[in-house]
Structure 1
Amino acid sequence: MHVIETAGLTRRFGDVTALDDLTIAVPPGITGLVGANGAGKSTLIRILLGLLPATSGSARVLGYDVASEGPTLRQFVGYMPEHDCLPGDVSATEFIAHMARVNGLPGDAARERTAETLRHVGLFEERYRDIRGYSTGMKQRVKLAQALVHDPRLLFLDEPTNGLDPAGRDDMLDLVRRTGHEFGISIVMASHLLGEIERVCDQVVVIDGGRLLRQGAIADFTAATGTLIVEVEGDPAALADALRAAGLRVEGDGRQLLLPFDGDHVLDRVRDACADLGLGLVRLERRRQALEDLFRPAPEALHAGS
């Protein structure tokens, strides 16, 4: 069963089309929702939460129709918004317990879940301090805690590392990963930082200008390509000349050489050329595609014309 399904989902704001005929099917697990700022990620999340009507098309989340069953659906999902929305004059304990009661937990259960959730996000020792005194990283953890406190089946995280320094981003990404894997909660994490998606997610949905660009497992996007990377100790130009003389197409990329890989005979030629020239072989591996490649103009294939 898919946790999210959309068909022809479209949303317009006057003359601006934020989502354009978007059809996706998201399986359980941790899914990255990728796109540049303004690509339609936040609009999509608000529609999937039943907070914003679509102009046309349909969407179901956890089997519920978002247009007609939004209040029921929201019992089973958590939402961490991108913007700062926390009250400053209450403690984390007070706020999270309030959010637990809003989501239907009775008083004792709300207090128990609040303590467990704040411990999970790393705020247990600071739970009685007013939120106004929290750092940006602590506030992000409070936002995650309020999304988690009612034990949802699905989490929507909108730019969860927004405003964090590199160490804070690492901590938040680790927390997101542990939340998905240890509690078995499906997560949709919206981000414009592709490296974060690669580190945390099992699958990815890529949108650009409100349209679906690609969707699939992370492993499919970062699979080995048909390009071989070679790095040596010594003069790479000499190696490039030797490999060209052997009939291979070679391009330089700084200290690295790039060759089309079409069989193990290429590895043999690189090995033999390095031995003949007395060069130390530092790196010899097939290049892996990165998510960033999806947003770059497709270069001419390395082996074209060879």
Structure 2
Amino acid sequence: MPVIRTDELTKRFPGVTALDRLTVDIDAGVVGLVGANGAGKSTLIKILLGIAPATSGRASVLGSDVVTNGPDIRAQVGYMPEHDCLPGDVSATEFVVHMARMSGLPADAARERTADTLRHVGLYEERYRPIGGYSTGMKQRVKLAQALVHDPTIVMLDEPTNGLDPVGRDEMLALIRRVHTDFGISVLVTSHLLGELERISDHVVVIDGGQLLRSSSTTDFTRNSQALVVEVTDRSDDVVAALAEAGLTADRDGRHILVTLTGDADYDVIRSAVARLGVGLIRLEQRRHHIVEVFGEERTDVGAA
């Protein structure tokens, strides 16, 4: 049974439709919810948590209807909001213990679970410092900790890498993946960056303008395109010209060269052309789809239907 299910789910605000007859099943595991800002991701999570009512349609979490069983759902779900909502004058320990008690844990269990969870997210040594003095990355870890402290069945993480530098993003993504692999907790994580989610997700759901564009395994979603990415040390324009002389279609794409793939023999042709020019070959591999291309493909299909 899917851990999350929506059926014709619609949410309208004055002048705006945030969700438009969204029907999707989400299974256990790590599932990425992808869409541009304003696509309806946060609205969907709030409806699933019973924080906001839907205009029409139905939704369930862990088999329970979100309208009639909101408290039961929230007892089994952890939620990490996108916005900065942490009190600056208390420590991470105080805050996470408070959230654990709010979830129904006894005092002793709440303190024990808090220590374990802060250790898991890498804040154990800093657990008594006021949150107001934390970096953005540390604050994001506090939000993740409070979502995990009551040992939920599923966590919903809304843009958890917002505001983080590349190293912080990598560390947060690794933590999120471990939530499932180490503890068996299912994860629904939102982002507007497909590249992040394809690294950690088993399945990807794409929405845009509140509508479902695609729901498929990560492997299918990021399938290889019929183009090769060629990266060389220098003289990219000369390489493009040499490939054209060899009968291949090649174009510059920033510092990369994109070559239309016609067969396996193209690899040897490219390597030979690069070798003749005496430049270094850094990378030669099939290109993967990007989020904007998937949006374009799906919109074309919808428009043709």
TM-score normalised over the length of structure 2: 0.86
Deviation digits for residues 122-176 of structure 1 (CA, Å, limit 9, x no counterpart): 2222222333333322222221111111100100111112233333323222221
Q: CA, structure 1 residues 40+244, in 2 after alignment: closer, same or farther (shift >3 Å)?
A: same
Indicate the residue corresponding to 2:193 in structure 1. Answer: 193
What corresponds to 1:261 in structure 2? 261
Give ranges in structure 2 of 5+ residues lacking alignment: 299-305
Q: 1:289 to 1:107 in 2, by over 3 A?
A: same
Whole-Å separation in 2 of the counterparts to 1:21 and 1:242:
51
Q: Helix, strand or coil for the counterpart of 1:188?
A: strand
Shift of 1:3: 1.2
Q: Distance in 1 between matches of 2:256 and 2:78?
A: 46
Q: Distance in 2 between matches of 1:132 and 1:256?
A: 43
- AA aligned opposite 2:105: L
Distance 2:235 2:14 in 1: 59
Greater displacement, 119-128 / 35-44: 119-128
**Which aligned pairs between 1:181-220 and structure 2 lie closer than 5 A?**
181-220=181-220
SS at 1:50's partner residue? coil
Report the Cα distance in structure 2 between the residues aligned to 1:167 and 1:256, rounded to whole angstroms. Answer: 24
Matched, 1:171 2:171: yes
The range that moved more, 263-272 or 114-123, is: 263-272
Is 2:213–2:295's contact at 8 Å kept on the other side of the alignment? no
**What's the counterpart of residue 4 of structure 1?**
4
The answer to whether structure 1 residue 33 and structure 2 residue 33 are counterparts is yes
Q: Percent identity?
A: 63
- CA apart distance, 1:45: 0.2
Partners of 2:38 and 2:227 in 1: CA distance: 33
User: Match for residue 145 of structure 2?
Assistant: 145
Contact 1:231/1:284 (8 A) holds in 2: yes
Distance 1:8 1:240 in 2: 49
Counterpart amino acid of residue 229 in structure 1: V
Give the deviation of 1:78 after TM superposition: 0.3
Paired residues for 1:37-56 under 5 Å: 37-56=37-56
Query: What pairs with 1:102-121 in structure 2 (closer than 5 Å)?
Result: 102-121=102-121
**Alpha-carbon distance in structure 1 between the residues aligned to 2:130 and 2:255:** 53
- Matched AA of 2:132: R
Distance 1:136 1:239 in 2: 43
Distance 1:128 1:233 in 2: 49
Q: How many Å separate the matches in 2 of 1:198 and 1:26? A: 16
Note the C-alpha offset of 1:8: 0.7
C-alpha deviation, 1:239, in angstroms: 5.5
Q: Secondary structure at the match of 2:213?
A: strand
What is the deviation of 1:65? 0.9
Amino acid at match of 1:33: L
Structure 1 163/256 Cα, relative in aligned 2: closer, same or farther at 3 Å?
closer
- The residue that corresponds to 1:97 in the other structure is 97
What is aligned with 1:23?
23
Q: Does 1:65 align with 2:65?
A: yes
What is the TM-score with the length of structure 1 in the denominator?
0.86
**Aligned residue in 2 for 1:135:** 135
RMSD, aligned CA: 2.6
Residue-by-residue CA offset, 1:213-248 (whole Å, 9 max, x unaligned): 222122212221111334556755565556545544
d(CA) in 2 for partners of 1:276, 1:15: 61
Tell me the equivalent position of 2:284.
284
| Secondary structure of residue in 2 paired with 1:160 | coil
3-state DSSP class of the match of 2:75?
coil
Paired residues, number: 298
- Cα distance in 1 for residues equivalent to 2:118 and 2:295: 38
Does residue 156 (structure 1) correspond to residue 156 (structure 2)? The answer is yes
Cα 1:57/1:232, change in 2 over 3 Å:
same
The residue number in structure 2 matching 1:303 is: none
